[in-house]
Amino acid sequence: SRHAVVTGVSSGIGAAIAARLLDEGWRITGLSRTAPAHAVTRLHWIPADLSRPEGLPEVLAPVSGVDAIVHAAGVQRSARLGELDPEDGSLMWRIHVQAAGVLVDTLVDRVADGGRVVLVGSRTMTGVPGKSQYAATKAALPALARSWAAELAPRAVTVNVVAPGPTDTPMLRDPGRSRTPPVMPPLGRLVRAEEVAGLTSFLLGPEGGAVTGQTLVMCAGASL
Ligand code: NAI
């Protein structure tokens, strides 16, 4: 069966992606800081702190035969100007951007021809009041995806960003240290993690192979 390496599998969007891919018959190696939710215990879990990306090559040493990489791990620490915490900015930069780089760079030679890479971005990438540092880290992902998509095209490996709007996950329900709560999108409901998993599944599936270097926004109208 096909083998996907998925980060952020312990909750929310990453857990939904892992569950969906398992249902489709994929074998999953899941990385996250905390243990995965019950629904995805069939995956092979590797504990990893992605805020320390320099440790990833060692963590990934036993991983081989990769058909897809999905980087869903993330945190949201948001605040308005005057209250920015540079450590929060650094944390998000390391998990969202630097870990993506080390993850894909470490595994690239183990990815099969025709393989797939999906980075979970955010519709906030265009800039949103009160979320500047978070938005900036997510804005870096389309640049990574377009660069890598061009580099990997000769191997028929696709690289895309899936950019959700407000999604019903623990991150959204408990914003933790975020000072700027989300607002309800125009469609009058939140995005469901299963919907983000469905779009990811499409990109990883047989009909997704012609989409590369793109950023697909799924935001219930939040970006309108
Ligand atoms: P969540 O809080 O439910 O899950 C986050 C996942 O990231 C967990 O599996 C956690 O273990 C992992 N993680 C966090 N810090 C880590 C670290 N230092 N090392 C290893 N793993 C770590 O959040 P959610 O909502 O599922 O978010 C997943 C992704 O989707 C994130 O990249 C987030 O920025 C993005 N996103 C979420 C939206 C939302 O409204 N929930 C909207 C747009 C994007």
ipTM of the complex: 0.99
User: Which ligand 1 atom sits nearest the alpha carbon of residue 170?
Assistant: 3
What's the pLDDT tens digit per position in 173-223? 776 667 666 789 999 999 999 999 999 999 999 999 999 999 999 999 999
Predicted confidence band of residue 171 (pLDDT cuts 50, 70, 90): confident
Q: What integer is the mean pLDDT of 163-175? A: 88
Query: Which residues pair with residue 3 across a beta bridge?
Result: 27
Contact 44, 32 (CB under 8 A): no
Q: Give domain limits for the chain.
A: 3-218
Predicted confidence band of residue 102 (pLDDT cuts 50, 70, 90): very high
Q: Say what percent of the chain tops pLDDT 70.
A: 95
**Residue bearing the CA closest to ligand 1, atom 15:** 74
Kindly state the DSSP code that residue 37 receives in the 8-state scheme.
Answer: P
Query: 154 C-alpha vs ligand 1 centroid, how far in Å?
Result: 31
Query: 117 C-alpha vs ligand 1 centroid, how far in Å?
Result: 17
Q: What pLDDT shows up at residue 183?
A: 80
**3-218: which CATH architecture?**
3-Layer(aba) Sandwich (3.40)
Contact 198, 41 (CB under 8 A): no
Q: What pLDDT shows up at residue 181?
A: 67
Q: Quote the mean pLDDT of the chain.
A: 95
Report the C-alpha gap between 4 and 78 in whole angstroms: 31
Q: What pLDDT shows up at residue 39?
A: 58
Q: What integer is the mean pLDDT of 145-153? A: 98
**Residue bearing the CA closest to ligand 1, atom 26:** 12
Query: Which residues pair with residue 7 across a beta bridge?
Result: 31, 71
**The tokens of 200 are what?**
């990811």
Query: Which residues pair with residue 162 across a beta bridge?
Result: 120, 216
Spell out which residues line ligand 1, taking CB within 6 angstroms.
8-14, 32-34, 48-51, 72-76, 95, 120, 122, 164, 166-167, 169-172
Taking CA atoms, 93 is separated from 51, 141, 162, 173, 198, in Å, by 8, 11, 18, 22, 26
Q: What integer is the mean pLDDT of 94-115? A: 98
**The tokens of 34 are what?**
């905390």
Q: What pLDDT shows up at residue 6?
A: 98
